[in-house]
């Protein structure tokens, strides 16, 4: 397993690199008072095929649950994404 110090050094190195990239692109950090909204990644490949087959079987709730498992999105976002995929 990873040593905690080794992991901390890796995280610090990644933070440093990210800071350099943000500086190069002219991106400033957001004030801590502003909430940062993350966008869930849309699954591709086998994940969407599984969701499509669940929808084809009429298992909309299971498709929404599976979408949430694959993306980590919230219930509302998953429901909207599944309904956009198969609006019936």
Which stretches of the chain are DSSP H helices? 4-25, 46-56, 60-71, 75-85
Give 34's DSSP letter: S
Q: Return d(Cα 61, Cα 58) in angstroms, integer.
A: 9
The pLDDT value recorded for residue 77 is: 92
Residue-wise pLDDT tens digits, 2-29? 577 888 888 888 888 888 888 888 877 6
CB under 8 A, 24+ apart: contacts of 51-54: 51/82, 51/85, 52/85, 52/86
Residue 22: the pLDDT is: 82
Asked if pLDDT for residue 51 goes beyond 70, the answer is yes
Q: Per the structure, how many domains does the chain have?
A: 1
Grade residue 61 by pLDDT with cuts at 50, 70 and 90: very high
pTM for the full predicted model: 0.49
Reported as half-sphere exposure (CB side, CA atoms, 13 A), residue 45 has a value of: 2
By residue range, what is the domain housing residue 61? 4-85
């Amino acid at each position: 397993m990873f040593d905690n110090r080794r992991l901390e050094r890796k995280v610090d190195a990644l933070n440093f690199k990210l800071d350099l990239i943000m500086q190069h692109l002219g991106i400033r950090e957001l004030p801590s008072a502003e909430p940062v909204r993350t966008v869930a990644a849309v699954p591709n490949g086998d994940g969407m095929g599984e969701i499509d087959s669940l929808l084809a079987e009429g298992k909309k709730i299971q498709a929404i649950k599976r979408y949430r498992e694959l993306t980590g999105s919230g219930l509302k976002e998953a429901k909207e994404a599944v309904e956009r995929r198969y609006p019936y």
